Amino acid sequence: MGAEATHSLASQLASVLPSDGKPWYKKTHLLRLNYVILSLCLLSSANGYDGSMMGGLLALPGWNEFMGMPTGGWLGFINAIYWALNGISFFGAAWISNKFGHKTGIYIGYVFLVTATALQTAAPNDAAFVAARGLLGIAAGMFTAGAPLLINEIAFPTHRPIAASCFQCGFYLGSLIAAWVTFATKDYGNSWDWRLPSLLQILLPALALPGLIIAPESPRWSASVDRVEDVRQFVIKHHAGGDESSPLINFETDEIVNTIKAEQQAHASSSYLDLVKTKGNRWRLLISISLGFFSQWSGNGVVSYYLPLVLNTVGITSVTHQTLINALLQVWNLFWAIAAAVSVERLGRRVLFLSSAVIMLISYIVVTGLSGSFASSGNAAVGLAVVPFLFIFFLGYDLALTPLIVAYPVEIWSYRLRSRGFSVTWISGILAGIFNMFVNPIALETIAWKYYFVYIVFLVAFLLLAYFCYPETRGRTLEQMAFIFDGDDAEVIPATKVESVGAVEMAESQREKSDKSS
């Protein structure tokens, strides 16, 4: 029954979409909406910029001297403070998002970003630098908690999967800029070789601000606070292009309002405990936790934050070569991340997940073998051969764990649990990443290339879990995802199977409130 209902709804959506033959880029309202979405995607640059910048700074003698030659646990703490506060901020951000709308938390993130950038750029000592990194983590957490939800809930129905998957592409755009900036400043000979990269981390979020200002609030959030007319006006303006006769208006408005009303009627309130109360939610929770975990425990954390240490183990010790490889790697990552994002609906999520796991596993096995061979032979050619396989590894990572680490968990949860479910994914990744940041430098210094065997085991686990537990979700609206996970228990009222009861009741309630207030 669930599959039939989903297919039926997909057919109904296709029947109400505009059929004027014009591509989206020739429609003013969709150009404006996709400009907003592109701007929101730039906010993920904060996390990418940080990882790439820290990887570049680690290769700079001046920064190392300023920070007291950090190694081991202290180096891990310098990196981990960013992610620790990033994760803590998510709890507050999820509440703000549900209570005040998705845009409010993003604006708060800008306050922390400006403060942190000023402090890090002007840092007089290592303590100030570390404190600034903590504030940057809060800013990035607020951005990541709000922007993906807003993108998913405002995107045009047929654009949503690609739009959502593009969010993390901004991660590599930030990485790219940070890598080339640190490469360009490496020979400054003064503290501006690390202060300028610190200052420029505000660049992409600043470019995103105009798009955020004109962005509409989520129609799902509007429906959750009984603003039914706001939902309808959103669809008219941003999806129907002002054509009030479009059948898309009633279809989307009814589907959004009726589904959220069904959720509210079934659950008077929601909490994190709801994530485990049903079989469908427990399935979603397994995906959310595992995806966050594998986003950090697939070997990428070693290369992202500790690339110089990895290259040192295979004999590539030149600052110029290390920063150049880091910069070229970000160009490569951005290309494949975008390619995967635009293919997510055509190829499907499972194809991307499984391809990603296989490519990462094979390349990491080769990197481990070559690293071990170099350690025993000292052959420079063997050490150099590691580099292309690092690039192949990230090709695999970019196919799924870049676009889908955000898009997949956000789309599988119902509206009332969406921010909490996504928080679980992100915090799982942060906890795994923080552990990584403390353990990786210590393990690399102690057992060098042998540490890579740990990640081979986790990559095998990722492949098995993706095969058996990650379902295909393409071709469905956010409201239709419930049929995959909940089946007959889905809290969805298809628009065409009711006479818009929920929408009518809520609209009448809103009008009565308006009449009383006036």
Mutual orientation of helices 203-214 and 169-185 as an angle, nearest 10°? 150
Can you tell me the distance from the alpha carbon of 56 to that of 475, in angstroms, rounded to the nearest whole number? 41
Hunting for tokens 């939902």 — which residue is that?
Answer: 231
What is the 3-state composition of the chain as percent helix, strand, coil, each rounded to the nearest 5?
85, 0, 15
Domain ranges of the chain: 23-217+274-474
HEC profile of 359-371: HHHHHHHHHHHHH
Secondary structure tally for the chain: helices H, strands E? 24, 0
Going by C-beta distance under 8 Å and a sequence separation of 6 or more, which residues neighbour residue 434? Answer: 80, 83, 84, 87
Query: What are the structure tokens assigned to 180, written together?
Result: 């080339």
> Running DSSP on this structure, what letter comes out for residue 390?
H
Contact 64, 242 (CB under 8 A): no
101: region left, alpha or beta (phi > 0 left; psi from -120 to 50 alpha) = left
Q: Exposure of 345 by Cβ count < 10 A (0-12 exposed, 13-18 middle, 19+ buried)? A: middle
User: What pLDDT was estimated at residue 303?
Assistant: 63
The two three-digit tokens of residue 466, written as one number: 């993706």
Cα–Cα distance between 313 and 195 in angstroms, integer?
28
C-alpha dihedral over 481, 429, 368, 75, to 10 degrees?
A: 160
Cα–Cα distance for residue pair 251/477, rounded to 1 Å:
12
User: How does DSSP assign 183-194, residue by residue?
Assistant: HHHTTS-STHHH
- Other CB atoms within a 10 A radius of the CB of residue 374 amount to 22
Q: How buried is residue 118: exposed, middle or buried, by Cβ count under 10 Å (0-12/13-18/19+)?
A: middle
CB atoms within 10 A of CB 174: 28
| pLDDT for the residue numbered 284 | 96
Q: Please check whether residue 463 is in contact with residue 354, taking contact to mean a CB–CB distance below 8 angstroms.
A: yes
| Calpha distance 164→406 (Å, rounded) | 7
Query: Distance between CA 64 and CA 322 in Å, rounded?
Result: 15
For 299-355, give the DSSP string: THHHHHHHHHHHHHHTT---HHHHHHHHHHHHHHHHHHHHHHHHHHHHH-HHHHHHH
User: C-alpha distances in angstroms, 438 versus 50, 55, 72, 255, 272?
Assistant: 17, 15, 7, 47, 28
Query: CB of 473 within 8 A of CB of 347?
Result: no
In angstroms, rounded to a whole number, what is the distance separating the alpha carbons of residues 432 and 423? Answer: 14
pLDDT recorded at residue 313: 66
CA distance 170 to 338: 9
Contacts of 508 (CB under 8 A, 6+ apart): none
68 φψ region: left (φ > 0), alpha (ψ -120 to 50), beta (else) = left
Beta-carbon count within 10 A of 475 CB:
15
- Please report the pLDDT score of residue 496 as a whole number: 46
Residue with tokens 């604006």: 107
Instruction: Give, in order, the Cα–Cα distances in Å from 407 to each of 36, 96, 260, 413.
Output: 17, 20, 20, 11
Topology (CATH level 3) of domain 23-217+274-474: Growth Hormone; Chain: A; (1.20.1250)
**Where does residue 203 rank: exposed (0-12), middle (13-18), buried (19+ CB within 10 A)?**
middle
Between CA 165 and CA 208 the distance in angstroms is 17
- Segments of the chain scoring below 50 in pLDDT: 1-2, 5-6, 495-518
- Which residues are CB-contacts of 334 (< 8 A; sequence separation ≥ 6)? 169, 172, 173, 175, 176
Cα 165 from Cα 412, distance rounded (Å): 13
d(CA 278, CA 485): 10
